A and B are shown apart, each in its own frame.
Chain A
Amino acid sequence: MFQELSLMPDLTVADNISIADPPRRFGLIDRKAQRERAEALLARIHCEDVDPRALVRDLSLSRRQMVEIAKALGKDPKLLILDEATSALTSRDVETVYSVLGELKQDGVGMLFISHRMHEVEALCDTLSVFRNGQHIETFAKGARSQNDIVKLMIGRDVSHQFPPKPVRTKPNTPHLVVDNLRWENALNGVSLSVGKGEIVGLGGLDGQGQKELLLALFGVLRGVDGKVGIGGADGLTGSPAEAKSGKNRIALVPEDRKTEGLMLPMSIADNLLAASFDRVSVGPFIDRSKEKQAVADAIKQLQIKINRPEDAVATLSGGNQQKVVIAKWLMTEPEIILLNDPTRGIDVGTKQELYRLMRELADQDRAILFYSTDYAELIGCCDRVAVMYDGRIVTEFSGAAITEEALVSAALNITVPISTSPGVPA
């Protein structure tokens, strides 16, 4: 079963569970048997509340993931591969899954559990294997290595030299981007935040607590956003990315998924680099070839993007270099505010370090950076301040030495509750 769900949203739960091999009678699908089968499998993972006749589209993300697990169990596997199977589950479901996996273990089913959550690996697994950059690094029994050792194996060297040093602040920055009580549908429930020039502010918290929506709202992508956004004192709430990147706003967004949102993969590296700033290399309506060439060469040099020729399709580059193209594209627009949505996802460690250095350089050039990451180490290492989001609002902010893994994790789980008044039940 996959991290990315492989369910058909417009089919029922029962259809999905039996999609590959539905029970048949006289060659036709036996709907009743199919429904009963779905019920039995769902009961096994304590999901009796899911109606087998419901459409998958109508279920919440965590329910869908449970259906996915039921579907995998339905194949009576000898070997069950779980790729980030628990990433979208509520804590109650996670426990259920743990106990089901325990039962399966008793039944002699082999399981391969892929996760980036250390405590899950600790709780579930007997043998651990560490992979890095598509290479098998080491396999050992649980308990043979300390957590620190494992982390070292994962990144290939000590953690300490990963991040560039943070500057020491004598006085607080003047805020450049000020967000006040921003609301959007269910995802943003009154976000207030400020980012100063030359400052890197991190957005922390569990996945899906409104961080992405906040960045999209600031970039003018979402419709019907309520609240105030001030940029350099002026009103900065925009209606489209075209407005957000131009005029006084000068916002850039490095989106979550570079392959579908950041890049036009079959197009050339040069065209991708210029996608946000063709007007800057044009004379009248026409693109000036020499300016275009110069701009592309500058961008490639600035970010040290490794390419053969600028005319090659951007799809030929490695993940890290593709991400550099996305960032270079935005740097060409000379943004004042840079929104980063998990920019280091799926790129190699070396490029990550380059990006960390680049972020700090950009901040030193007086840009305001808002940086969402799912990796706590990044937030701790890169950010001047970290705002932790929970259930569509910012529950707490840390700065300087107060940014520690413990603080971030407990704030992300909303344990300390310093600002939030409502208890907030996870969806």
Chain B
Amino acid sequence: MATLNLPHLKSDDLPIVIAAGFILVILAAGTAYTLSTLGTAPLLTPNYLLTQLQTGAFLGIVACGMMTVILLGHIDLSIPWTMTAAAMMATTIGGPGAIPTGLAIGLIVGLVNGFGVAYLRIPSMIFTLGVDSVMRGLMVAHTGGFAPQDTATDLMRYLAAEKVLGVPVAVFVWAAISIVISAVLARTSFGKAIYATGNREAAAYLSGIRTRWIIVGAFVISGLCAASAGMLLAGYSNKAYQGMGNAYLLPAIAAVVIGGTSILGGRGRFIGTLVGVILIVLLNSVLSIAQMPEAGRQIIYGLVIIVMLLVYGRTTRVTS
């Protein structure tokens, strides 16, 4: 820390500052582009930014859950089909029971994942991948391989697509979940236990922390977040469809890691994940505004993630 000449900046904060700075760079570069081609600056209008937040809400909610699992040094690869399954079952059941049904799916998947990782001691990367595959099979069996005909309930549509005071409701949902998760991580003994277990499971266990419960708890949070995001997504597009969650797994992991959370667990602040989500959403959006062909977008997107992690790796080695 002394090497940074920033006395109040912890090493954990540095990635967040860098990521936030990069968001400004993206906005500036995008605005420069639109000014030179169109002569206007649509990126800086509140309308555009709110649309980005609306898009980011789904990813943001998934990333909240993903972060709790990554803090333990584990990973949840079952997110895509947890989202899809929750959305499909919610639209199938319909009525007032739709959202509780979807959350129940998330809870069950989380419990199964947690049990497999904490009690059966199967590496999370393998176990959650297997659970994802099982969920996909179950959903294909459920729908017969076709897109289900059921539509989202009014409440799901309201939460996902309506606006209050010009702000999308989904953003409020994202904000509410974020506040809960950040409070849990920073201010409860459960959250502290997540950090401790992620740092050194043996030491946490020998400190009398019930590490297995902690692992199960984190996977349940991840499952619930994925289920919520899946149902919102179904509300947004008015129906559930096969593979609707596939586009969220890797960006969620990227957002968490860009936000400074160590992929090995134990380090990372919640605000970083928020910044990471916004960065990824803006990057995608600006690249598409710039009419970059798909191939170029993917390359730039991947390079940004790699370069940022390289930068973080350097700084943590210097500071620790």
A residues near B (Cβ < 8 Å) are: 219, 221, 240-242, 244-246, 253, 255, 260-267, 271, 274-276, 278-279, 282, 285-287, 311, 313, 315, 329, 333
Contact = CB atoms under 8 A, between A and B. Distances in A.
B102 interface: no
B175 to A, nearest CB: 19
Contact of A255 (B190, B206, B210): B206
Interface stretch (B48-56, B155-163, B191-199): B191-199
A241 B195 contact: no
B187 interface: yes
Nearest to B192: A278
Nearest to A254: B206
Given A241-B208, A275-B209, A276-B207, A266 B189 contact: no
Contacts of B193: 278
B314 interface: no
Contact of A245 (B10, B195, B208): B208
A240 B320 contact: no
A264 B10 contact: no
B202 interface: yes
A294 to B, nearest CB: 16
Nearest to A244: B208
A241 B183 CA distance: 27
28 contacts: A241-B205, A242-B208, A242-B209, A255-B206, A261-B206, A262-B206, A263-B200, A264-B195, A264-B196, A264-B199, A264-B200, A265-B199, A271-B192, A271-B196, A275-B196, A275-B209, A276-B207, A276-B209, A278-B189, A278-B192, A278-B193, A279-B189, A282-B188, A285-B190, A286-B187, A287-B187, A287-B189, A329-B207
A215 to B, nearest CB: 11
Contacts of B10: 311
Contact of A266 (B183, B206, B320): B320
A271 B195 contact: yes
Nearest to B12: A266
A253 B189 CA distance: 21
B203 interface: yes
Interface in B1-60: 10
B180 to A, nearest CB: 11
B181 interface: no
Interface residues of B, number: 24
B297 interface: no
A221 B202 CA distance: 11
B200 A260 contact: yes
A374 B209 CA distance: 29
Contacts of A246: 208
Given A267-B195, A287-B189, 14 more contacts: A242-B210, A255-B203, A260-B200, A261-B202, A261-B203, A264-B195, A264-B204, A271-B195, A275-B207, A275-B209, A282-B189, A285-B188, A286-B183, A313-B320
Given A242-B209, A266-B266, A266-B320, A286 B188 contact: yes
Most buried by A among B190, B199, B203, B266: B203
B318 to A, nearest CB: 14
B206 A221 contact: yes
Complex A-B, nearest 8 residue pairs according to Cβ-Cβ distance, in ascending order: A278-B189, A264-B199, A245-B208, A275-B207, A276-B207, A241-B208, A242-B208, A264-B200
A266 B200 CA distance: 9
B202 A260 contact: yes
A266 B267 contact: yes
Contacts of A219: 206
Contacts of A245: 208
Interface of B: 10, 183, 187-190, 192-193, 195-196, 199-200, 202-210, 266-267, 320
Mostly, the A contact residues are mixed
A266 B267 CA distance: 8
Contacts of B183: 286
A171 B313 CA distance: 62
Contacts of B210: 240, 242
B206 A253 contact: yes
Nearest to B202: A261
B206 A241 contact: yes
A276 B207 CA distance: 5
B200 A265 contact: yes
Contacts of B192: 271, 274-275, 278, 287
Given A264-B266, A265-B199, A275 B187 contact: no
A53 B210 CA distance: 42
B199 A267 contact: yes
The residue in A244, A275, A279 that gathers the most chain B C-beta atoms within 10 A of its C-beta is A275
Nearest to A258: B203
A344 to B, nearest CB: 18
A87 B195 CA distance: 36
A313 B206 CA distance: 19
A374 B240 CA distance: 65
Contact of A263 (B188, B189, B203, B209): B203
Nearest to A262: B203
B14 to A, nearest CB: 14
A260 B203 contact: yes
Which residue, B187, B206, B267, B320, has most C-beta atoms of chain A within 10 A? B206
B158 to A, nearest CB: 30
A236 B171 CA distance: 52
A240 B209 CA distance: 9
A178 B249 CA distance: 54
A241 B204 CA distance: 10
A93 B308 CA distance: 54
Nearest to B193: A278
B77 to A, nearest CB: 26
Contacts of B267: 266
B238 to A, nearest CB: 37
Contacts of A278: 189, 192-193
A38 to B, nearest CB: 34
A427 to B, nearest CB: 25
Contacts of B206: 219, 221, 241, 253, 255, 261-262
A264 B190 CA distance: 16
Contacts of B209: 242, 275-276
Contact of B204 (A266, A274, A275, A311): A275
Contacts of A263: 200, 203
A290 to B, nearest CB: 13
Contacts of A242: 208-210
Contacts of B187: 286-287
A111 B103 CA distance: 68
Contacts of A244: 208
Contacts of A276: 207-209
